[in-house]
């Protein structure tokens, strides 16, 4: 039936939220992390997230495995050559980029402790002459082995990085705090759209003008991708973080940044994209601080199923809200997942790609947040 996936009952959804998400960590942070998931656990997680609605077809988007005048792609090595072409084409669309080398040092602006975790406001360089702030969240307890880390990108809210770090904002949106309570290390960077004024107010016009002066021809998403990579650099450099277990997550604007980081930086082992509008026509991707008016050109010829295919075989979960004010993803997002699954199945029978349609609008309801954490635990703590 239509929307079948939204009716799936995941066992973790019915655990009392306070008990499931933690409270104050006791003893070692290791105790807060699930033991490494077995193959059976991974297999149990994925099937419900790959059940398309009735009548689904991926035909609305071109297959990445066939091209006019070329033989079909039928194995993973052949896709690797095609993948490089897709990646190069997207980097060209994002525009030219040249930035001097910067180190991964950061300055601590504030240092706070409480509720089982440490919260530090840090400042670091994204470009040789540009700095940005982020919250660095860590469990208080020191585990005997490195911990997984996640970059959490904030949505379009006045609080920018504060909301995901548990400072003000809406209830249930402290994603970074929820993850650190499960034993992750989190870096929550401020988006460049909030980085043009001392008060850190949203300033799209100022950000676009600044980009045009500093990096002529580059799109806003090219700048956001660069800054997202720098946030991942900082996370990877934090003592005690396992560089082989890095992830990314974000809602709305933050989902857009997550998609591009996961597609172009293979250090991202698991990602969660919540209501970002996976289709270029689903959201305001045409705005100059994202991809710009080029996407409205009839000859543009690209869409984000290509980026989902670049993520494979790494783990990527799409959270959709279906309807309501601002809802960007839903059953209409399935063709994008379908085309990416075609590619990913060349590498393994059960790819680590999934879609959960909670049908609660442009929101991150408790069941979606719980699944976010379960997804990242499964794919960042295994092995």
pLDDT score, position 67 = 84
Q: How far apart are CA 313 and CA 346, in angstroms?
A: 9
Instruction: Kindly tell me the burial class for residue 378, based on how many C-beta atoms sit within 10 Å of its own C-beta (0-12, 13-18, 19 or more).
Output: buried
Q: What is the pLDDT of residues 159-175, one digit of tens each?
A: 999 999 999 878 778 99
Domains of the chain by start residue, with CATH: 4-380 (3.40.50.1820)
Span 46-59, mean pLDDT?
89
What SS3 string covers 169-202?
Answer: CCCCCCHHHHHHCCCCEEEEECCHHHCCCCCCCC
Q: Which residue has the higher pLDDT, 382 or 14?
A: 382
Query: Cα 185–44–333 angle (5° rounding)?
Result: 75
Helix runs in 144-296, H state only: 161-164, 175-180, 204-214, 220-237, 253-264
CB 208 within 8 A of CB 288: yes
- Name beta bridge partners: 70: 67
Tokens 């080029």 found at: 294
Q: Which residue has the higher pLDDT, 306 or 142?
A: 306
Question: Which residue, 251, 246, 111, 259, is CA-closest to 174?
Answer: 251
pLDDT grade for 43, boundaries at 50, 70 and 90: low
The answer to whether residue 5 scores a pLDDT higher than 50 is: no
Token pair listed for 5: 């996936």
Determine phi and psi for 243, rounding to 5 degrees.
-70, -15
The answer to whether residue 41 scores a pLDDT higher than 70 is: no
Q: What is the pLDDT of residues 346-378, one digit of tens each?
A: 999 999 999 999 999 999 999 999 999 999 999
Mean confidence (pLDDT) of the chain: 88
pLDDT grade for 61, boundaries at 50, 70 and 90: very high
Sorted by sequence, the CB contacts under 8 Å of residue 181 that are 6+ apart come out as 21, 22, 23, 25, 32, 116, 117, 139
pLDDT grade for 57, boundaries at 50, 70 and 90: confident
Span 229-235, mean pLDDT?
98
pLDDT score, position 229 = 98
Q: What is the pLDDT of residues 166-205, one digit of tens each?
A: 998 787 789 999 999 999 999 999 999 999 999 999 999 9
The answer to whether residue 107 scores a pLDDT higher than 90 is: yes
């Amino acid at each position: 039936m239509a929307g079948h996936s939204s009716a799936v009952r995941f066992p973790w959804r019915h655990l009392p939220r306070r008990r499931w998400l933690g409270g104050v960590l006791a003893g070692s942070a290791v105790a807060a992390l699930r033991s490494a998931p077995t193959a059976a656990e991974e297999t149990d997680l994925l099937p419900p997230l790959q059940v398309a609605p009735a009548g689904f077809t991926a035909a609305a988007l071109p297959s990445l495995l066939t091209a006019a005048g070329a033989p079909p792609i039928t194995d993973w090595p052949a896709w690797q050559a095609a993948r490089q072409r897709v990646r190069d084409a997207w980097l060209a669309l994002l525009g030219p980029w040249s930035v001097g080398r910067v180190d991964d040092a950061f300055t601590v602006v504030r240092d706070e402790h409480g509720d089982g975790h440490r919260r530090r406001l840090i400042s670091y360089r994204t470009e040789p002459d540009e700095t940005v702030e982020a919250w660095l969240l860590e469990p208080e307890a020191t585990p005997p082995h490195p911990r997984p880390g996640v970059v959490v990108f904030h949505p379009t809210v006045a609080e920018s990085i504060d909301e995901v770090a548990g400072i003000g904002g809406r209830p249930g949106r402290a994603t970074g705090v929820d993850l650190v309570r499960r034993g992750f290390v989190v870096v929550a960077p401020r988006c460049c759209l909030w980085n043009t004024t001392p008060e850190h107010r949203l300033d799209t016009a100022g950000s676009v003008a600044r980009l045009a002066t500093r990096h002529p021809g580059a799109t806003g998403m090219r700048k956001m991708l660069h800054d997202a990579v720098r946030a991942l650099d900082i996370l990877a450099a934090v003592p005690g973080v396992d560089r082989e277990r890095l992830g990314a997550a974000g809602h709305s604007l933050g989902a857009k940044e997550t998609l591009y980081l996961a597609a172009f930086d293979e250090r991202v082992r698991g990602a969660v994209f919540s209501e970002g509008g996976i289709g270029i026509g689903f959201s305001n991707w045409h705005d100059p601080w994202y991809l710009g008016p080029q996407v409205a050109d009839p000859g543009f010829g690209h869409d984000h199923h290509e980026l989902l295919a670049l993520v494979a075989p790494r783990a990527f979960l799409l959270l959709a809200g279906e309807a309501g004010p601002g809802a960007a993803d839903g059953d209409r997002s399935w063709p994008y997942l379908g085309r990416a699954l075609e590619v990913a199945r060349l590498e393994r029978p059960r790819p680590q790609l999934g879609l959960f349609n909670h049908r609660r609008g442009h929101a991150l309801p408790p069941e979606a947040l719980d699944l976010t954490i379960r997804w990242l635990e499964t794919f960042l703590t295994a092995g």
